[in-house]
């Protein structure tokens, strides 16, 4: 009886994994398929990869995406961390208002967030890299705040106050005492902001200027135009890099936990 | 010594006023005026136009269906994973989340390859001697796309909620004679409600305004509310009407969220990743 339960549990896990990964596996297989048709195997090839690395449109989009995502995540981390420090010493009412405002981009439909920022820029300024960057920072800050806030709440107040008593300035005490304590939260916030920005299509689609494409908006145009097996190659490269990054993050967190356990 | 740390949130306060609140005010301004800037209710009233409210109903039905299927698929999985003992459960849950990191459009591309008339699914059916299915450009295709896309968003919060349940409570119930089913229905289910609620929010909200999945898997045959808004901004360049329809969507989302939060125990951290 117990064994049947265990077995069906395992089977269910495998089933869901199959649903999630089968499409990705097919993408990878097709990236090596020497035929444009999806249901015919035309032999093994790497030429979609060769074409991809010479595709200016893809390279340009990749460059824009990386620049946009990294700068948006960095700005979001600075803004969000500063906001958390300020919020931790703020009056309750003001803090509640700020938290509610912060929740808006997370909970609102992306299409409304995108349209709203687009209207602001199209009305007063122009759409371009600037509007995309501001939109992506706005999407990212809430995730920084929800990751840093709990760390800051748990950080020991005593050490900070001791530092002040011993003559440290508030800024100095922050960098020397508080920052190291909340640093894991900041890293997590950065990763969240990075992911949200990298994966975003809708907000970028509305706030982008003419002629600028991120990977997402470039893919959208490609998908509407029809099949291009280079995109399968791109997916495969993405999947590999994601697995590498996750592996690294995992190792990093493992080292961190073992350090903590040592203490 | 005055605490100058209060000022540290200054940049973000300015930022959120300028880039969260002001843009929403712009939507309201455009939605409540016509082309020459005079006040009107027309853009809001346009919701009653059959094209618009039918698209809205389409969206609600598909979002509801996707959310339901996600819940049905995710709950047993979260239960199995959440009750698992052993170290590698964390890695296992990671494996379920990895697809979320693949660009959303690439995931849709993968599904398109499977579902299209000359796709993998029909090749497989043909191989097995079965009749081909025409899934593309249907509600079913859109729903499959959304379930595939948002499933991890449902798994994660429910898993976290089940993980948090105190093992002692379950053991106590067992000691007092409760069988497996009673433990499930009387303890685990009620205690996982906050996770279920956040899962529902995280699947339903993006589904209701979705338009890319409908664009690619639904062709132009099925119009969702998101498609209507997209078209008003990008095809017809009628920003006033587009804004009016966006206001309705926003009101609907915040109203349904308020209702769901009432149903849940009023957890403060709804987005509990």
- Which pLDDT band holds residue B121 (cuts at 50, 70, 90)? confident
Do the Cβ atoms of B102 and A235 come within 8 Å? yes
CATH number (domain holding residue B189): 1.10.3720.10
**Number of domains forming the structure of chain B:** 1
Q: What is the CA B67 to chain-centroid distance, rounded?
A: 7
Which of A191, A83, A63, A64 has its CA nearest to residue A132? A64
Smallest CA–CA distance from A117 into chain B, residue: B23
CA distance B127 to A191: 44
List, in order of start, the domains of chain A with CATH numbers: 57-226 (1.10.3720.10)
Local structure of A44: helix, strand or coil: strand
**Which phi and psi (to 5°) does residue B39 adopt?**
-65, 140
Per-residue pLDDT tens digits for B165-184: 878 888 888 888 777 777 77
- CA dihedral angle for residue B82, residue B84, residue B90, residue B95, rounded to 10 degrees: -80
Are A236 and A25 contacting, i.e. CB atoms less than 8 angstroms apart?
no
- Which pLDDT band holds residue A42 (cuts at 50, 70, 90)? confident
Q: What ipTM is given for this predicted complex?
A: 0.82
CA distance B188 to B181: 10
On whether residue B9 sits in a domain, the answer given is no
Q: Which residues lie closer than 8 Å to B205 by C-beta, 6 or more apart? A: A107, A109, B253, B257
- For testing contact with chain A, the best of B14, B16, B210 (most A CBs within 10 A): B16
On whether residue B59 sits in a domain, the answer given is yes
Token pair of B122, please? 């029909």
Provide long-range contacts, Cβ within 8 A and 24+ apart, for A58-62: A58/A218, A58/A230, A58/A234, A60/A213, A61/A213, A61/A214, A61/A215, A61/A217, A61/A218, A62/A215
pLDDT at B55 over 80: yes
On whether residue B68 sits in a domain, the answer given is yes
Which of B136, B106, B124 has its CA nearest to residue A39? B124
- Which pLDDT band holds residue B267 (cuts at 50, 70, 90)? very low
CA distance A123 to A131: 12
- Which pLDDT band holds residue B272 (cuts at 50, 70, 90)? very low
- Which pLDDT band holds residue A76 (cuts at 50, 70, 90)? very high
Per-residue pLDDT tens digits for B171-223: 888 888 777 777 777 878 888 888 898 899 889 988 988 888 888 887 777 88
Token pair of A196, please? 């949200």
What's the gap in Å between the CA of B11 and the closest CA on chain A? 7
- Which pLDDT band holds residue A29 (cuts at 50, 70, 90)? confident
On whether residue B5 sits in a domain, the answer given is no
pLDDT at A156 over 80: no
| Whole-number pLDDT of residue A205 | 92
On whether residue B10 sits in a domain, the answer given is no
Chain A positions touching B20 (Cβ under 8 A) are: 101-102, 104-105, 138
Residue of B111, B208, B233 lying closest to A109 (CB–CB): B208
| Whole-number pLDDT of residue B266 | 44
Residues A147-176 have a mean pLDDT of 81
| Whole-number pLDDT of residue B184 | 79
pLDDT at B262 over 80: no
Chain B positions touching A108 (Cβ under 8 A) are: 250, 253-254
Domain coverage including residue B90 = 54-263
| Whole-number pLDDT of residue B273 | 36
- Specify the higher pLDDT residue, B126 or B150: B150
- Specify the higher pLDDT residue, A68 or A177: A68
Q: Which residues lie closer than 8 Å to A125 by C-beta, 6 or more apart? A: A131
- Specify the higher pLDDT residue, A262 or A164: A164
Per-residue pLDDT tens digits for B99-114: 888 888 888 888 888 8
- Which pLDDT band holds residue A256 (cuts at 50, 70, 90)? low
Per-residue pLDDT tens digits for A107-131: 888 899 999 999 998 888 888 888 8
pLDDT at A247 over 90: no
pLDDT at A75 over 90: yes
| Whole-number pLDDT of residue B118 | 74
For chain A, the maximum distance between any two Cα atoms, rounded to a whole number of angstroms, is 74
On whether residue B244 sits in a domain, the answer given is yes
On whether residue B117 sits in a domain, the answer given is yes
Do the Cβ atoms of B76 and A138 come within 8 Å? no
């Amino acid at each position: 009886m117990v064994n049947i339960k265990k077995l069906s549990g395992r089977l269910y896990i495998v089933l869901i994994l199959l649903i999630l990964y089968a499409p990705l596996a097919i993408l990878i297989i097709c990236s090596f398929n020497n035929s444009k048709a999806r249901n015919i195997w035309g032999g093994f090839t790497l030429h979609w990869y060769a074409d991809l690395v010479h595709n200016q449109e893809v390279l340009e989009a990749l460059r824009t995406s990386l620049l946009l995502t990294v700068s948006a995540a960095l700005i979001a981390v600075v803004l969000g961390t500063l906001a958390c420090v300020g919020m931790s010493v703020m009056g309750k009412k003001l803090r509640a208002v700020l938290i509610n405002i912060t929740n808006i981009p997370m909970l609102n439909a992306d299409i409304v967030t995108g349209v709203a920022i687009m209207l602001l820029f199209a009305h007063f300024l122009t759409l371009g890299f600037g509007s995309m960057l501001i939109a992506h920072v706005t999407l990212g800050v809430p995730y920084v705040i929800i990751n840093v806030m709990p760390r800051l709440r748990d950080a020991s107040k005593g050490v900070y106050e001791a530092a002040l008593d011993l003559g440290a300035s508030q800024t100095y005490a922050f960098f020397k005492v508080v920052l190291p304590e909340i640093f894991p939260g900041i890293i997590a916030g950065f990763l969240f902001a990075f992911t949200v920005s990298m994966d975003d299509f809708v907000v970028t689609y509305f706030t982008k200027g003419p002629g600028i494409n991120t990977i997402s908006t470039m893919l959208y145009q490609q998908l509407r135009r029809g099949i291009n097996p280079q995109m399968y190659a791109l997916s495969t490269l993405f999947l590999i890099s994601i697995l590498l990054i996750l592996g690294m993050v995992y190792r990093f967190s493992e080292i961190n936990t073992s350090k903590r356990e040592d203490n | 010594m005055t605490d100058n740390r209060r000022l540290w949130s200054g940049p973000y306060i300015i930022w959120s006023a300028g880039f969260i609140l002001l843009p929403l005010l712009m939507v309201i301004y455009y939605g409540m005026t016509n082309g020459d800037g005079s006040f009107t209710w027309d853009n809001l009233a346009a919701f009653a136009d059959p094209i618009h409210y039918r698209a809205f109903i389409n969206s609600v039905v598909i979002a509801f269906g996707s959310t339901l299927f996600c819940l049905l698929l995710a709950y047993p999985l979260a239960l199995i994973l959440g009750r698992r003992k052993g170290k590698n459960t964390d890695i296992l849950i990671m494996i379920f989340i990895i697809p979320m990191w693949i660009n959303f459009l690439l995931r849709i591309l993968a599904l398109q390859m499977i579902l299209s008339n000359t796709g993998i699914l029909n090749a497989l059916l043909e191989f097995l001697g079965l009749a081909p299915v025409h899934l593309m450009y249907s509600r079913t295709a859109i729903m499959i796309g959304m379930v595939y896309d948002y499933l991890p968003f449902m798994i994660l919060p429910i898993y976290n909620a089940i993980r948090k349940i105190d093992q002692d409570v379950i053991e106590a119930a067992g000691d007092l004679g409760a069988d497996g089913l009673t433990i499930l229905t009387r303890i685990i289910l009620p205690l996982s409600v906050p996770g279920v609620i956040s899962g529902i929010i995280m699947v339903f909200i993006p589904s209701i305004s979705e338009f890319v999945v409908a664009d690619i898997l639904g062709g132009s045959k099925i119009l969702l509310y998101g498609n209507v808004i997209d078209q008003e901004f990008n095809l017809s360049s009628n920003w006033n009407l587009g804004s009016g329809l966006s206001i309705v969507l926003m009101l609907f989302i915040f109203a349904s969220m308020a209702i769901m939060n009432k149903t849940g125990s009023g957890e403060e951290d709804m987005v509990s990743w």
